[in-house]
Amino acid sequence: MPDETITQQVSERYARAVTTGERMCCPTGYNFDDLRSFVPEEVLRVSYGCGTPAGLATVRPGETVLDIGSGGGIDCFEACRRVGPSGRVIGVDMTDEMLAMARRNAPIVAKNLGYPAPNVEFRKGHAENLPVEDGSMDLIISNCVINLAPDKAKVFREMYRAIRPGGRFTISDIVSDQPVPNYLIHDTEKWGDCLSGALPVWEYLGGLVQAGFLGVHQMKFTPWSAIDGIHFLSLTLTGYKLSETAAPNGVRFASLLGPFSRAVDELGQAYQRGQSTQVSARTAQLLTTPPFERLFLLSDQPIVVATTDERLISILPAQAPCVWKGHFAIFTGPFAEVEDDGHHVYRRGVPLEICSKTLDVLESGPYSRHFAIINRASEAVEGEAVSCAPSGSCC
């Protein structure tokens, strides 16, 4: 199906939704009682999404925020409240009906917030060709929209172009655990349902990194639906556009604290838990971003981290037989590859079948925020406990 056909049919379906009230991606995570205090009801009725309003919790006063696929304007209006009257919000959408609704409600929202004038602007455009200047955005948000774009690699490049050095994105989107087959890709209804355009997790994450973003990692994961054995997930991701010049700060050594026993970052630097590794200024800059702060000890000289140091985190699987129940683990960053203490190697975005003991490990606190867990078993599994080693242990 030509890209232009996909774009046109998706736009027409969303345009109809303005008058019919049809539900596409169901909105999740919104506090509608709170939003009704300043957002008109007609905007709330056409609010679609697949995750908690993406990135809004991280918005700081005075920032410039871009919302890709702004629709009726709900996320933009919440961003308006958070950036304050000194901040600025830009919404981009391709559907005239949605833009008209958002524009006529912008003055109402500004008045309800007590602002002297609206601090939001709505522009017509496509995610593949954002109508904003280079390096002008502090934060890009998007809620279940990029999967509707035929050329997602171009969207990621546009995002990178638009974000200022030191800026970030937080987006929610639908991804899949395996490639979507052609019979679904060419199903126009499934495009509008945010399914046919879903990329496999590894391809989506890889596309963001290939565009230039670093520190790409999961903020939230929710199972979405399963069709013909393909699992669709709602994934909220954050990533960073590092400053163009790494500021010298004296930090040139990094010690991985865990919970991983080994990790390789997006720049190709490898780490072993507890060992002090010399890193470049660029890598040191990466390791100061939020997803790495709890995982590393940074220093200006090599240090020895004793195995008894309470800052080291190691979680061993139980020394007992395990059961295979159909679970698969999907590592979702911020590294390119990691290894746990059961010697499982996880490559970002690639599902790996795990047993019951490994599931217990990955669902523990230190690991849980780094993984999405799915179950591919179509029926309840009655497997027997098995041992993978002569000692009776497994993994």
pLDDT tens by residue, 197-219: 899 999 999 999 999 999 999 99
Give the relative orientation of helices 3-20 and 96-113 as an angle to the nearest 10 degrees: 50
Q: How many domains does the chain have?
A: 3
Instruction: Please tell me the least confidently modeled range out of 49-63, 234-248, 332-346, 350-364.
Output: 49-63
Summary mean pLDDT of the chain: 88
Q: For residue 379, name the pLDDT band (cuts at 50, 70, 90).
A: confident
Higher pLDDT pick, 10 / 133 = 133
CA distances from 97 to 50, 58, 364 (A): 21, 29, 46
Looking up tokens 């590859």 gives: 337
Does residue 273 share a domain with residue 186? no
Q: For residue 395, name the pLDDT band (cuts at 50, 70, 90).
A: low
Does residue 211 share a domain with residue 85? yes
**For residue range 50-62, what is the model confidence (pLDDT) as tens digits?**
655 656 888 999 9
Contact 330, 373 (CB under 8 A): yes
Does residue 281 share a domain with residue 234? no
Which DSSP category does 170 fall into?
Answer: E
Domain edge (last residue) among 240, 261, 289: 240
In a domain, residue 393? The reply is no
In a domain, residue 386? The reply is no
**CATH code, domain carrying 46:** 3.40.50.150
Average pLDDT in the 348-372 region?
95
Domain edge (last residue) among 262, 283, 313: 313
Question: Strands 214-227 and 230-240, how do they pair?
Answer: antiparallel
* pLDDT score at 190: 67
Does residue 275 share a domain with residue 151? no
* pLDDT score at 380: 76
Q: Which domain holds residue 370?
A: 327-375
In a domain, residue 192? The reply is yes
Q: For residue 90, name the pLDDT band (cuts at 50, 70, 90).
A: very high
Q: How many angstroms separate the CA atoms of 307 and 310, rounded?
A: 8
Does residue 132 share a domain with residue 209? yes
Does residue 195 share a domain with residue 259? no
In a domain, residue 230? The reply is yes
Does residue 139 share a domain with residue 90? yes
In a domain, residue 3? The reply is no
pLDDT of 392 over the 50 cut: no
> Residue 79: which of 62, 56, 61, 99 has the closest Cα?
56
**CATH code, domain carrying 271:** 3.40.5
CB-based contacts of 20, cutoff 8 Å, min separation 6: none
* pLDDT score at 200: 97
pLDDT of 18 over the 90 cut: no
In a domain, residue 252? The reply is yes
Does residue 125 share a domain with residue 28? yes
Domain edge (last residue) among 221, 240, 259: 240
pLDDT of 135 over the 60 cut: yes
Higher pLDDT pick, 183 / 23 = 183
In a domain, residue 26? The reply is yes
Q: What is the value of pTM for the model shown?
A: 0.90
Does residue 50 share a domain with residue 197? yes
**For residue range 218-245, what is the model confidence (pLDDT) as tens digits?**
999 999 899 999 999 999 999 999 998 7
Does residue 294 share a domain with residue 234? no
Q: What is the CA radius of gyration of the chain?
A: 22
The percentage of residues in the chain with a pLDDT greater than 90, rounded to a whole number, is 70
* pLDDT score at 15: 44
Does residue 218 share a domain with residue 265? no
* pLDDT score at 256: 98
Contact 213, 239 (CB under 8 A): yes
Does residue 252 share a domain with residue 111? no
CA distances from 211 to 132, 153, 215 (A): 17, 7, 13
In a domain, residue 94? The reply is yes
**For residue range 290-324, what is the model confidence (pLDDT) as tens digits?**
999 999 999 999 998 998 999 999 999 988 888 99
